[in-house]
């Protein structure tokens, strides 16, 4: 058995019960879910969750062959190579996670820390405002000043609740720039998932 990281779709049951598709959880609806030890961190109300799962080789293959699962290499301290960089960026962007900053100088652990920092912001946004980050029909390239006033105010309020700098939450800053800045503001504080630190 080995701990592996994945980005897995969320399945929703009865409108408000959410868990990782393909893994066994209290309200699993997936067919033949994997019954393994796991821990997860969702992207607020976005339809994806970062999980680590304690899997053997067969279970890893079963999970990672699903086309909507993103499998992170076993050695998260390995550096991202030029050959896989476009795929890493594309996979993150498809989940509304800004990835223009990812380079071959980063390790998978460093990328996962930034992603987890962003997920923490999204969770706070959900907790404070009971809404998705991307519920208003905008995308990563949308400029802050084109968002409805109420959406702008709620984003600022979430950042303020975390004592984050809100300088980028203004003017023509894109959602892409804003989310990366907010993710960075998690800083060096520990990010622990089920006892495992990123």
Q: Residue 138 has what pLDDT?
A: 87
Around 42, how many Cα atoms within 13 Å sit in the side-chain half-sphere?
Answer: 21
Q: Residue 28 has what pLDDT?
A: 82
Cβ-Cβ contacts under 8 Å for 194 (sequence gap 6 or more): 38, 39, 52
Residue/partner pairs of 105-108 with CB below 8 Å, 24 or more apart: 105/79, 106/79, 106/80, 107/76, 107/77, 107/78, 107/79, 107/80, 108/5, 108/72, 108/73, 108/75, 108/76, 108/77, 108/78, 108/80
Full domain range(s) for residue 189: 2-197
Q: Residue 136 has what pLDDT?
A: 73
Q: Residue 144 has what pLDDT?
A: 95
Q: Residue 92 has what pLDDT?
A: 96
Q: Residue 94 has what pLDDT?
A: 95
Window from 11-15, 93-97, 152-156, 178-182 with minimum mean pLDDT: 11-15
31 by Cβ neighbours in 10 Å (0-12 / 13-18 / 19+) ranks as: exposed
Residue 70: is its pLDDT beyond 80? yes
**pLDDT (tens digit per residue) in 4-57:** 999 999 999 888 889 999 999 988 877 778 999 999 999 999 999 999 999 999
Domain total in the chain: 1
Nearest 10 degrees: Cα torsion 133, 134, 138, 143: 20
Q: Residue 63 has what pLDDT?
A: 96
**pLDDT (tens digit per residue) in 73-130:** 999 999 999 999 999 999 999 999 999 999 999 999 999 999 999 999 999 999 999 9
Q: Residue 194 has what pLDDT?
A: 84
């Amino acid at each position: 058995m080995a701990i592996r990281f994945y980005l897995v779709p969320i399945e929703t049951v009865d409108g408000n019960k959410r868990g990782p598709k393909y893994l066994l959880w209290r309200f699993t609806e997936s067919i033949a879910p994997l019954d393994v030890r796991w821990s997860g961190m969702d992207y607020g109300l976005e339809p994806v969750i970062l999980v680590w799962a304690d899997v053997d080789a067969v279970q890893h293959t079963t999970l990672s062959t699903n086309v909507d699962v993103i499998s992170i290499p076993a050695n998260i301290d390995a550096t991202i190579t030029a050959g896989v960089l476009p795929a890493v960026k594309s996979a993150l962007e498809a989940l509304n996670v800004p990835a223009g900053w990812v380079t071959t100088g980063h390790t998978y652990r460093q990328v996962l820390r930034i992603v987890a920092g962003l997920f923490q912001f999204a969770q706070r946004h959900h907790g404070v405002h009971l809404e998705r980050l991307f519920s208003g029909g905008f995308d990563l390239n949308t400029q802050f000043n084109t968002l409805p006033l109420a959406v702008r105010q709620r984003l600022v309020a979430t950042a303020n609740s975390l004592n984050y700098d809100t300088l980028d939450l203004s003017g023509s800053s894109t959602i892409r720039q804003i989310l990366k800045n907010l993710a960075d503001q998690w800083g060096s504080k520990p990010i622990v998932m089920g006892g495992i630190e990123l």
